[in-house]
Homo-oligomer: A and B are copies of this chain.
């Protein structure tokens, strides 16, 4: 009788593993060369390209006791697409470097690649190459290039008097992490949605493309939490902010957890990957109209002021000091 143990990465070896991954990849567009040579060759016609990289690490950014390979692949890709979107860019091409424990199952790797490619399909990205290495923990590092649709939207352009707006809702991803850590089931739909919000974060690519023509003065994605990212935006712009706590779009599903403060988790929770932007206040209605086709709402939460930063009855610094930093929190 043949052995029935699950095949692992070390059973396959690097070359077979790469061939297996390559076989799952999309066919390159004509005139381009993707994986299979030393680098990918990309057709390009714009004057500005956007380039970013983000790394996620097992035990820090994901936990395999509740995240699947597909979840990890999706997240690795989506967080980079979100960075391109938040610059007012169109994500275009990505490469992925993956560290794998030798005992990692091949099925996990297949799932991981499927998740990467599902996010690529969702956001119009071509995965064009990558690298794999043995490692003692699973890591996924994506680098992505994108084209600026118009003028790139830096975080430094906010001016006093601008409206502060945010897409979608906040706090759901952090609440989903709480639900996952509590091993809550999927029988309550709101809890299931929160968990998915953490495991499959969206990148607001279509939303960013719709906003560019309205010339936001600054834009950033909410990855480290509203308090931290808004703080980064006003610091880069050398301005202040006044945010109405009552206007913060708290994810309504958070109430299903019962024992967390919805505003606190919406302001401090990270990884919602919503777009936070500043814009001429006469254009906030236009922004909402522009996003209608995407199904994603947008709300004004406050105003850029000359200096100081307040969110509700607390200073932004007070809020920020409650946020977390990856290296410290481990």
Task: Give the size range of A's interface with the partner.
Answer: 35 or more
With A14-B328, A102-B327 known to touch, is A52 a contact of B135 (CB < 8 Å)? Answer: no
Which residue among A10, A45, A47, A49 has the maximum number of chain B CB atoms within 10 Å of its CB? A49
Q: Contact check: which of B14, B43, B87, B99 meets A139 at CB < 8 Å?
A: B99
Residues on the B chain within 8 Å of A51, using CB = 39-40, 42, 93, 95, 128-129, 143, 145
A312 at the interface (CB under 8 A from B): no
A139 touches B131 (CB 8 A): no
**Could you tell me the distance between the alpha carbons of A36 and B235 in the complex, rounded to whole angstroms?**
11
**Could you tell me the distance between the alpha carbons of A327 and B19 in the complex, rounded to whole angstroms?**
14
A133 at the interface (CB under 8 A from B): yes
In the complex, the chain B residue whose C-beta lies closest to that of A147 is: B44
Residues on the B chain within 8 Å of A40, using CB = 50-52
With A99-B55, A141-B97 known to touch, is A134 a contact of B39 (CB < 8 Å)? Answer: no
Give the interface segment out of A114-122, A148-156, A191-199, A299-307: A148-156
A326 touches B133 (CB 8 A): yes
B38 touches A155 (CB 8 A): yes
Residues on the B chain within 8 Å of A12, using CB = 327
B97 touches A53 (CB 8 A): yes
**Could you tell me the distance between the alpha carbons of A14 and B56 in the complex, rounded to whole angstroms?**
14
